[in-house]
Structure 1
Amino acid sequence: MKFSIVITTYNRLPLLRRAIESALAQTLPCEVVVADDCSSDGTEEYVRSLGDERVVYYRNPVNSGHSATVNAGVAVATGDWIKPLDDDDYLAPNCIWEMVKAIAQRPQAAICSCQAVQVDVNGEEVTRTKPSGPGKIFYVKQEDIHYGMLMEVVPFGTPVQVAFKKDAFIKSGGWDSALDGNCDDIDSWVKIAQYGDAAFVNQYLTFRTLWPGGCNQKFSLQKRLETNILIKERIYPLVHEKYRSSIPKLEEIKAFLKLHWSLVGLKQGKILMALKMAYPAMFSPAAWSSLARVTYSRKINSQAPSVPQENATYRTAST
């Protein structure tokens, strides 16, 4: 099993240095691809000056956006597994090693996720993602992944947390540039999950930088709601037939999402927008039930997620 770490970057050389250093410091050496979206800050000169045969530099012919740069970097990589990394994030030295150990116990896995420490611009810890599922390592069968994503009990996390098989990524069509910066990663996990099982490592192996006014904050609440609905619409037909009789109707899921985002709007003091988003979902008992269920599951997500026991979705690894 060969891993390639694909680092996407654009005019953030000081941050890129840290990302590259963390990639080269892995206890399990691997290829490091720097995919540059036409930076003008000396990025190319710096990367080429490293003189490390493990580092591959690729530069887009024109500025193409984050999603296209991810796709280009993966295409250049020679590893059969890809660890994407944005230039402002970085890895613990044992990240790739721990992922490889987990994947080795589940050869049919196509995607792997770990936990992240979230830091501020100064590198100080702000918060941590919450462990999900039982044990240090657990697995979800392919036939159960989309049901779990639809019902929000299978969380893959942001790109810094995830690794995936290159061939599954290629088959899935890669990242959708139409979603650039707005759930393009989650859309990719949905598509990749068609091609194998999922492995989860409940260890903090990555560091994600939180920025004031981060990328997702650039989109309006309405746009974020619309994209959230789009992702659910893409997941829905992929849910395995064994769940068909138990999943909510798509319209009920949309109503739940409208309630969720209306509450986000209320917390931000956007009362008129929140009311507009909530109507007429606020009159749906099914939507309120889903909201309560998701809220409850997030509070207990350090325990095994609530999926039908007869399906035995979750498997704890022997460690």
Structure 2
Amino acid sequence: MSNLAAPDVSFVVLSYNYGRYLSDCLASIVSQHTAAAFEVIVVDDASTDDSERVARSFAEPRVQFVRHAVNQGHIATVTDGLRLARGTFVARIDCDDRYRPNYLSEVLAVFRHYPDVGLVYGDVALIDDTGMVTAERVDRAHGGRDFKGNELTRLLEENFICAPTVIARRESWRQTLPVPAGLAFHDWYFTVMMARRYDFYYINQVLADYRVHAANLHTTIARNKTEETSIFRVLNMVYGEREAMPGLEERKQRVRRQVHGAQYLTLANKYFGFGMDSDAQRCDLAAVRYRPAYLVQPAVMRRLLATVVGRKPYELAKSVVKSAPALTK
């Protein structure tokens, strides 16, 4: 394949024991409504299910399958895919997600119109294990409009870019390598590092479906707390270096306490949802130290109350309040 002309786009598909979803993902790529030339690189991290059979069942010359002999983890898998990619633009997707048919035509139109943009993305719908849509839209950051500009400071506060819609110039991806060993994730790392160099463009359309199920990586790393340590590793990296883009360093430093407070607040909410009350309390208190105004937020007050008095008294008090008759004047 390396002797052929370089394609316009490379799709890097990350595969590990999701054979039951892989066909859906690959079908969504090869059926794109576009005249652009593209290749599909499936990098399988030594799956023990039928992932290889599913990938090889696609009688499609644009699809190539690369398999690790032994499991190497998500960082090695995505790195291998990015290094094999030959396209001018590269999209990476986990094989449990899928694209909408107009994905490629929409994102390439933006790159043609805005040559200064390094990364393009859009909104997603949420789907369940069976592929049924459970939420039509998820973006809350752009007010229902397209957006072009730098998003570093917002990204440092929250990972609001949904990975399956991301496509970037090949050099943008490669400038982020190597991914630091031991990070629990790579999607937020990539977008943060690219936002330090480039403007992004958000398309206010649903361009992909993001599958939510019990085995999601982000659920696992939140529960085992490796997400938390990785988030602050990335923040320490970013705040330990100066930004080259004009004005970006000053904006980044101005929101430093806000960034750390927001990340702790998000972690507290996740831990509370998982019943990890001591970790929820720890992160809520850390968030308040960075941003004291959080203390008067009802959600923070409720979580702190629950983690201090215990879940049972908290739930009992909540039910009493709900069932009490409304006070009248």
How far 1:86 moved relative to its partner? 0.9
**Which residue of structure 1 aligns with residue 151 of structure 2?**
145
How far 1:11 moved relative to its partner? 2.7
Could you list the per-position Cα deviations for residues 190-220 of structure 1 after superposition, in whole angstroms to 9, with x for gaps in the alignment?
Answer: 1223342211111001011101253222233
Q: 3-state SS of the aligned residue for 2:194?
A: helix
**Which residue of structure 1 aligns with residue 65 of structure 2?**
57
**Which residue of structure 1 aligns with residue 174 of structure 2?**
170
Q: Does the 8 Å contact 1:102/1:137 carry over to 2?
A: no
How far 1:166 moved relative to its partner? 1.2
Using the size of structure 1 for normalisation, the TM-score is 0.77
* RMSD of aligned residue pairs (Cα, Å): 3.0
**Which residue of structure 1 aligns with residue 247 of structure 2?**
242
- Aligned partners of 1:266, 1:42: CA distance in 2, in Å? 36
Q: Say if 2:163 is the partner of 1:159.
A: yes
Q: 3-state SS of the aligned residue for 1:261?
A: helix
How far 1:156 moved relative to its partner? 5.2
Q: 3-state SS of the aligned residue for 1:50?
A: coil
In structure 2, stretches of 5+ residues that fail to align are 1-6, 301-329
Q: 3-state SS of the aligned residue for 1:52?
A: coil
Q: Say if 2:130 is the partner of 1:122.
A: yes
- Aligned partners of 1:256, 1:57: CA distance in 2, in Å? 40
- Aligned partners of 1:249, 1:137: CA distance in 2, in Å? 24
| Aligned CA distance change for structure 1 residues 290 and 126 (closer, same or farther; 3 Å) | farther
Q: Does the 8 Å contact 2:242/2:249 carry over to 1?
A: no
Q: Does the 8 Å contact 1:132/1:202 carry over to 2?
A: no
Could you list the per-position Cα deviations for residues 147-204 of structure 1 after superposition, in whole angstroms to 9, with x for gaps in the alignment?
Answer: 332355xx6523212111111211211544411xx33210111122334221111100
- Aligned partners of 1:81, 1:14: CA distance in 2, in Å? 28
Q: 3-state SS of the aligned residue for 1:206?
A: strand
How far 1:71 moved relative to its partner? 1.2
How far 1:130 moved relative to its partner? 1.9
- Aligned partners of 2:258, 2:70: CA distance in 1, in Å? 43
**Which residue of structure 1 aligns with residue 305 of structure 2?**
none
- Aligned partners of 1:8, 1:213: CA distance in 2, in Å? 15
- Aligned partners of 2:296, 2:246: CA distance in 1, in Å? 24
How far 1:248 moved relative to its partner? 3.9
Q: 3-state SS of the aligned residue for 2:153?
A: helix
Mapping 1:1-319, distance limit 5 Å: 2-28=8-34, 29=36, 30-127=38-135, 128-130=137-139, 132-133=141-142, 137-140=146-149, 144-152=150-158, 157-179=161-183, 182-212=184-214, 214-219=216-221, 220=223, 222-236=225-239, 237-238=241-242, 242=247, 247-248=253-254, 250=256, 253-279=259-285, 281-283=287-289, 286-288=291-293
Q: 3-state SS of the aligned residue for 1:115?
A: strand
| Aligned CA distance change for structure 1 residues 94 and 69 (closer, same or farther; 3 Å) | same
In structure 1, stretches of 5+ residues that fail to align are 296-319
Q: 3-state SS of the aligned residue for 1:173?
A: coil
How far 1:19 moved relative to its partner? 0.8
- Aligned partners of 1:33, 1:111: CA distance in 2, in Å? 20
How far 1:137 moved relative to its partner? 3.2
Could you list the per-position Cα deviations for residues 85-132 of structure 1 after superposition, in whole angstroms to 9, with x for gaps in the alignment?
Answer: 111111111101100011111112211111111100011111221254
Using the size of structure 2 for normalisation, the TM-score is 0.75
- Aligned partners of 2:194, 2:295: CA distance in 1, in Å? 26
Could you list the per-position Cα deviations for residues 217-266 of structure 1 after superposition, in whole angstroms to 9, with x for gaps in the alignment?
Answer: 22337543333333333333455563555644645643443344334434
How far 1:280 moved relative to its partner? 5.5
How far 1:46 moved relative to its partner? 4.1
Percent identity between the two aligned chains: 21
Q: Does the 8 Å contact 1:256/1:290 carry over to 2?
A: no
- Aligned partners of 1:67, 1:262: CA distance in 2, in Å? 26
AA matched with 1:166: R
Higher normalized contact order (CA 8 Å, seq sep 6+, divided by chain length) = 1
| Aligned CA distance change for structure 1 residues 175 and 55 (closer, same or farther; 3 Å) | same
| Aligned CA distance change for structure 1 residues 189 and 287 (closer, same or farther; 3 Å) | farther
How far 1:64 moved relative to its partner? 1.1
How far 1:6 moved relative to its partner? 1.1
Q: Does the 8 Å contact 2:39/2:62 carry over to 1?
A: yes
